[in-house]
Amino acid sequence: MKIYVCKKCGNVVLKLEDKSEALACCGEKMELVNANTVDAATEKHLPVYEIKDGMINIKVGATEHPMTEDHYISFIILASADNYMIKMLKAKDKPEASFPYDKSYNKIYAYCNLHSLWLTEIK
Ligand SMILES: [Fe+2]
């Protein structure tokens, strides 16, 4: 899976098969998003997690990320090599997600509408 964003309108695309670079939006090539590359507060963006009773409870981040109309976490993804679980969020939601968990899941992504993509590897 790769994530692309339109720098003009903010559309975000999760590309499940990445066989060409042909994605475009607003008449321009969409930009590949790389996690943890924007200079912003890591404590508000890096997902933190707790595994308990077969569930993984995720928060963004160690200090809760704002959830206003202008600045919010729009989704959280729990990922393994071949499974994805996605929680879509809106302004005023809590920047949190809970999913059934097994040890195959090793990555948590969070996407901020202003500060892009953040990744925590599950140890
Ligand atoms: Fe942010």
Residue 22's pLDDT is what? 80
Q: Which residues pair with 75 in a beta bridge?
A: 88, 111
Cα–Cα distance, 91 to 113 (Å, whole number): 11
Under CATH, which number does the domain 35-121 receive?
A: 2.60.40.730
Q: How many A from CA of 19 to the centre of ligand 1?
A: 30
Residue 21's pLDDT is what? 77
CB-count exposure of residue 100 (10 Å: 0-12, 13-18, 19+): exposed
Q: How many A from CA of 75 to the centre of ligand 1?
A: 12
Which tokens go with 76? Answer: 């959280």
- Percent share of the chain, pLDDT over 70: 100
Cα–Cα distance, 82 to 100 (Å, whole number): 15
Q: Which residues pair with 59 in a beta bridge?
A: 48, 96
Class of domain 1-33: mainly beta
Kindly report the pTM of this predicted structure: 0.95
Residue 98's pLDDT is what? 98
Residues of the chain with CATH 2.20.28: 1-33
pLDDT tens track for 55-84: 999 999 999 999 999 999 999 999 999 999
Q: How many A from CA of 78 to the centre of ligand 1?
A: 19
Residue 100's pLDDT is what? 98
Q: How many A from CA of 73 to the centre of ligand 1?
A: 7
pLDDT-flagged residues of the chain (< 50): none
Cα–Cα distance, 121 to 77 (Å, whole number): 12
Q: How many A from CA of 112 to the centre of ligand 1?
A: 5
Residues of the chain with CATH 2.60.40.730: 35-121
